[in-house]
Amino acid sequence: MTITLDLIQTVGLAVLVFLLGRWIKGKVNFFQKYFIPAPVIGGLLCSLVIFAGHQTGAFEVEMTADLQDFFMNLFFTGTGFTCSMAILKKSGKLGAKLAVGAVFFLVVQNLVGVGLCSLFGLNKLLGVAMGSISMSGGVGSGASFGPTLESFGADGGTTIGVAAATFGLLLGSITGGPVAEYLIKKYDLKSSGAAMEKEEKTIYPLEQNKFFNSVLLILTAAFIGSYISKLLKLTGLSFPYYVGCLFGGALIRNIADARGIELRMNEIDIISNTALNLFLSMALMSLNIAKLIDLALPMIVILLAQAAVMMLWAVFVTFPTMGKDYDAAVMAAGHCGVGLGQTPNAVANMAAVIEKNGPAPTAWFVLPVVTVIFINICNPIIITFFINLLK
């Protein structure tokens, strides 16, 4: 039996998958502790059911995924709006050092992934899927770059990238604390005792016309980004379409900053996160689980190696370059979170260290801002370079 879903039915299933994931996450502390996204939980369960139907011959499911790319591009356009150079300047020289280290580590992650895939006799592009695509890029990046990898012969690139990113969320949360505790004890580091600074974010009341204007702004940025994508193709490299959308959002944000125009970022975040949840739900519920079975052992080895390399980098690169003080140790913990998981993992890692050992105001401001901006901007470019090198 074949179940065929049209456009509306596919989106409807994605909504149900998200709601299921959100309900399960609300009931299971493990998912809350390690910041596993609701669409990942529900989507993986759905894909397992579809996989069981395929394996038993009971049923097949055909979906209409035309809106999947639309939601993906909308999300990355919204992400581009976070790339504010005006905010970045506030981090000063310390932020510049962290940026260089974080960007260079993206290259290291891909070299580790590609090198280990070579040892296992796997397609080297899968090493990129288990490198900065999934580790620093996260689930959204894994689902976005997967089809590009598959088009160049890396069978199962999407499934492997998403699975690696999901595992990375767990690794990012359990590695940061031990790294910080090791550094604090070894160097007998103490908090300065200063009050922790929090960035004040203006929250505007929801008004129909102004919210609609934010929707129009994102769509306009995506429109501009579509032409940036055309320009990127002139380089001869295979940039995914969404990279142009990301730069479109960044362009609008920085023009607004330069002209003193305050954007309603809370509304842009709402639109972006809505698009992300729907995109991830649609991408994950259609994963081909069968692609993971043969790669289970090599994949675990590669991801554990990525975690070990991240911890070593945090101790021997991030910590020294950030000043070898208490704030530097907190930033090392945060870098483990964002380098293997996502920004919430980094913030949670730092918050846990701060709660136990005292405030770290510099780390609290610098690391999330710098890593979000530079990883969002540079990771797609570095990934594209590796894909074009290895395809």
Domain boundaries, the chain: 79-200+292-390
pLDDT attached to residue 290: 75
pLDDT band at residue 194, thresholds of 50, 70 and 90? low
The residue ranking higher by pLDDT, 33 or 317, is: 317
pLDDT attached to residue 196: 43
What does the radius of gyration of the chain's CA atoms come to, in whole angstroms? Answer: 21
Q: pLDDT tens, 290-316?
A: 777 767 889 999 999 999 999 999 999
Is it the case that residue 101 has pLDDT exceeding 70?
Answer: yes
Q: pLDDT tens, 309-326?
A: 999 999 999 999 999 999
Is it the case that residue 183 has pLDDT exceeding 90?
Answer: yes
Closest by alpha carbon to 291, among 47, 63, 76, 87? Answer: 47
Q: pLDDT tens, 73-98?
A: 998 899 889 888 888 788 889 999 99
pLDDT attached to residue 233: 84
Amino acid at 321: T
Segment 164-175 shows an average pLDDT of 88
Is it the case that residue 35 has pLDDT exceeding 80?
Answer: no
The alpha helices in 188-295, defined as continuous H runs, are: 208-233, 241-258, 265-285, 290-293
pLDDT attached to residue 14: 95
Is it the case that residue 187 has pLDDT exceeding 80?
Answer: yes
pLDDT band at residue 198, thresholds of 50, 70 and 90? very low
CA distance 81 to 214: 11
CA distance 139 to 61: 23
Strands (E), the chain: 2-4, 60-62
Instruction: Give the list of residues 6+ apart from residue 357 with CB closer than 8 angstroms, or none.
Output: 184, 189, 190, 191, 326
The residue ranking higher by pLDDT, 211 or 200, is: 211
Which of helix, strand or coil describes residue 239? coil
% of the chain exceeding 90 in pLDDT: 58
Which of helix, strand or coil describes residue 35? coil
